[in-house]
Amino acid sequence: MNPVYTPLRRLSESIRSGEASPVELAETFLGRLETHGPTLNAVVTLTKERAMEQARRAEEEIRKGKARGPLHGIPWGGKDLLATAGIPTTWGAAPFKNQVFDYDAAVVERLEDAGAVLLAKLAMIELAGGMGYRQPNASFTGPCATPWSPRHWSGGSSSGSGAAVGAGLVPFAIGSETWGSILSPANNCGVSGLRPTYGRVSRHGAMALSWTLDKLGPLCQTADCCGIVLEAIAGHDPRDHSTSKRRYRYALKRDGVRVAVPKGVTDGVAEPVKRNFDEAMREVERFAEVEEIEFPEFPYEAVTRTILNAEAAASFDEFTERGLARGLTAPECRYGPYARTVVLAKDYLKALRLRERVARIAEDAMEQYDAVAAPSRGTTVPEIDKEFRKVTPGTTRDTMGALGNGAGLPAISVPSGFDGEGLPTGIQFMGRAYGENGVLSVAVEYQSRTKWHTVHPDRFIP
């Protein structure tokens, strides 16, 4: 069995059966990260020593019959905003490129407990995009390319997490999303990316951009893999007060699936994205009851944007006051933090007060459905050397992103096809709070009927 591009369930079976060895898997994927990582600007640091130690331990435990579960012995990569003891954690930003913590992030701990093998810290947009980047060259490791084209962007801010999974350099990765940072790279790299409900996964040890918006989640080959990883990383953590005490168990709903499509969701969307979305929905209609819904007019984007601006200004206050932004890569990020220092306290609080309305609107509209479907992005994959606004004139409003992140709702992006240039497009399924199994049920069934997640870029197929 060739482990590259093999979904986690199959990879796990091959480890348990002795067909694959954790040490050999670690060596194989480390080799791929070394060879292909630099061509994509996807990797910040290889954690080779730690990886081989974890892989040898996993191999020994499995040999002795001490199985830790489906991720035991499986390699992974983490967005470089997750603290790792003794290994640099750069937050993608030159001013922090020598930063080293003496502890592991909760997610790193949980994956270690699950027996997974950390191979690399993966590239990201500097400070998770918190300084207002407007083009892909916004990381001290350079602009990250999608595995589908060296001239096109991986998406961000979890850039390396998307690119490394898409290129088959790691079986799965962890990314983070404040607003779009998991769904965007999943879309651009042609992989599956799950943004969990806010508070589902502990953020202890992860860089904070916006305390009430930040979420951590997996990027994988398939939606099924995302469910497996989420079960391993979810759970209450007293070190992160946002975490829920609800226990998460990955389980699929087989019958009676209901999907909603917001009215006008493809208005203004790029033609190839719309075409693939319409085609995907025809497939969804074969197994789910599909209905149109309408989210009422409300300043969703103003609510989420104000919360993000105010919290980012506070979380990077010392950074801003010390003038450290001048050391960032993107010119627009060097002055990005200053304007938001004047968001008024009353406006931030108004946004937090309106957030309850947003949450209730979402629940009222979505209560009857397992998922709400929409294109993951309104545009095709941007070129790597262009400003976003120059290549995406007339970009539509991101109501799904604003509402979903503002209300802390889960969503998954899965591949829906390709545009005329051979670049991937994605479809997202967003669910009610704690409704990950609903969106996973839709996405897994969709992938069981389509082939897009099984198509990989030629130059990375071994």
Partner 1 sequence: MESEEAETLFSLVKDKYGDKIAPEELDAVKEAVERIVETSMELRSVELGNWDEPFTVFKPYRRQEE
Name residues whose C-beta falls within 8 Å of residue 379's C-beta, 6 or more positions apart in sequence: 269, 270, 273, 391, 392, 395
Catalytic pick from 21, 159, 181, 244? 181
The closest of 278, 201, 149, 279 to 436, measured between CA atoms, is 201
Q: Is the CB of residue 354 less than 8 Å from the CB of residue 125?
A: no
Nearer to partner 1, 232 or 365 (CB): 365
Nearer to partner 1, 101 or 298 (CB): 298
Name the one residue in this structure whose structure tokens are 């050397």. Answer: 385
Judged by the rule CB under 8 A, the positions of this chain that interact with partner 1 are: 132, 212, 241, 298-299, 301-303, 305-306, 309, 320, 323, 325-326, 332, 334-336, 338-344, 347, 349-357, 359
Name the one residue in this structure whose structure tokens are 């991720």. Answer: 71
Distance of CA 218 to the CA centre of its chain: 6
Residue 145 neighbours by CB distance under 10 Å: 24
C-alpha atoms less than 13 angstroms from C-alpha of 403 in its C-beta half-sphere: 26
d(CA 355, CA 11): 42
Residue 31 neighbours by CB distance under 10 Å: 11
Residue ranges of alpha helices (H) inside 64-177 are 106-113, 159-166
Supply the minimum distance, in Å, between the C-beta of residue 331 and partner 1: 8
Supply the minimum distance, in Å, between the C-beta of residue 212 and partner 1: 6
Does residue 181 have an active-site annotation?
Answer: yes
Catalytic pick from 12, 79, 158, 202? 79
Catalytic pick from 12, 139, 154, 157? 157
Nearer to partner 1, 309 or 376 (CB): 309
Strand, coil or helix: 51: helix
Does residue 244 have an active-site annotation?
Answer: no
Residue ranges of alpha helices (H) inside 254-344 are 271-284, 300-315, 317-321, 331-334, 336-339
Does residue 154 have an active-site annotation?
Answer: no
Supply the minimum distance, in Å, between the C-beta of residue 350 and partner 1: 5
C-alpha atoms less than 13 angstroms from C-alpha of 31 in its C-beta half-sphere: 10
Nearer to partner 1, 64 or 346 (CB): 346
Nearer to partner 1, 341 or 399 (CB): 341
Nearer to partner 1, 199 or 217 (CB): 199
Residues serving a catalytic function are 79, 157, 181
